[in-house]
Amino acid sequence: MGHSVTRPARLTVGVVSAGRVGSVLGAALARAGHSVVAASGVSDASVRRAERLLPGVPLLPPDEVVGRADLVLLALPDDVLGPMVAGLANAGAFRAGQIVVHTCGAHGIDVLRPAVEKGALPLALHPVMTFTGALEDLQRLDSCSMGVTAPDGDEAAWNVGEALTMEMGAEPVRIPEAARPLYHASLAHGANHLATLVADCVELLRHNGVRDPERLLAPLLSAALDNALRHGDRALTGPVARGDVGTVRTHLRVLGERAPELRPAYSALARRTAERASRVGLLGPDAAREIADLLDNGREGT
């Protein structure tokens, strides 16, 4: 498919649906001068969010939203996206010349094939950010990147995706279709598991009598994240990276006694830390073997 347009004109935008991502990106497109003409949303939270971020925009069924729009923004959960696109295509909602965008990180543009068969231009624009659906999320867009996927070989389509991204305030990063699954796995592994890890730490400290554990952890974790992003594996520290086997043994014991549900995760991350520390020479081979033996024995004894 070839397209001569290299940047989007002022477009009518339809948002399906007005969740935390869709409402924010719709507001960002409106801020850039596009006209949001319709959105879908049935829950009370979606209605309130639309009133706050998309004031005056009518809430309509998805097929009517698509029918009114030059740019269709599908802000749907990963597993809902494919069936919704197929259903809208079967209902005749898509038309030639539309730009159909989805925001899922896990999918590229293949999931939009039913819309493409109707003549639409497919784009995947995934904001690398978490949203709450509040007004301040618009400011977050100004400091985040957006993973852009467009049809291979269609430079004009890539340019449209990048222009829309920049109009919303984000920085476009090209993600080829084939790279999309690993791209998303990487982001989920970092962001989602980081949130789980931090929540576990907070809970463990609080249950052991530490007051205000968030305040205790914030400087340490902020510095650790900053150092890791700046210096990579050279930022590794702590008993595993130092080869302090006795300390790691104590950790395994106390976790087994007081928080057995956390010990498998601790062991898995400690093993991966040892591997990375060994690879860059922070942890010598003898210490690495001793750490690995301890972790293996701890796993077998659980």
Average pLDDT, the chain: 94
For 250, residues 6+ apart whose C-beta sits below 8 A from its C-beta are none
The predicted-structure confidence for 169-197, as pLDDT tens digits, reads as follows 999 999 999 999 999 999 999 999 999 99
Task: Compare 103 and 9 and report the one with higher pLDDT.
Answer: 103
Rounded CA separation 183/174 (Å): 11
**CA torsion angle for 167, 173, 176, 181 (degrees, to 10)?**
-100
Q: What integer is the mean pLDDT of 230-251?
A: 97
> Taking the alpha carbons of 59, 64, 66, 67 in that order, is the dihedral positive or negative?
negative
**Judging by beta carbons within 10 Å of its beta carbon (0-12, 13-18, 19+), is residue 176 exposed, middle or buried?**
exposed
- pTM, to two decimals: 0.88
Confidence at residue 3, expressed as pLDDT on a 0 to 100 scale: 43
Minimal CA–CA distance to 273: which of 253, 288, 285, 286? Answer: 288
Rounded CA separation 15/37 (Å): 9
- Catalogue the E-assigned strands of the chain: 12-16, 35-40, 71-74, 99-102, 121-127, 145-149, 171-174
Q: 121: which strand partners?
A: 99
Q: What integer is the mean pLDDT of 120-126?
A: 98
Confidence at residue 8, expressed as pLDDT on a 0 to 100 scale: 61
Rounded CA separation 47/38 (Å): 12
Rounded CA separation 213/72 (Å): 44
> Taking the alpha carbons of 24, 26, 27, 31 in that order, is the dihedral positive or negative?
positive
The three-class DSSP label of residue 200 is: helix
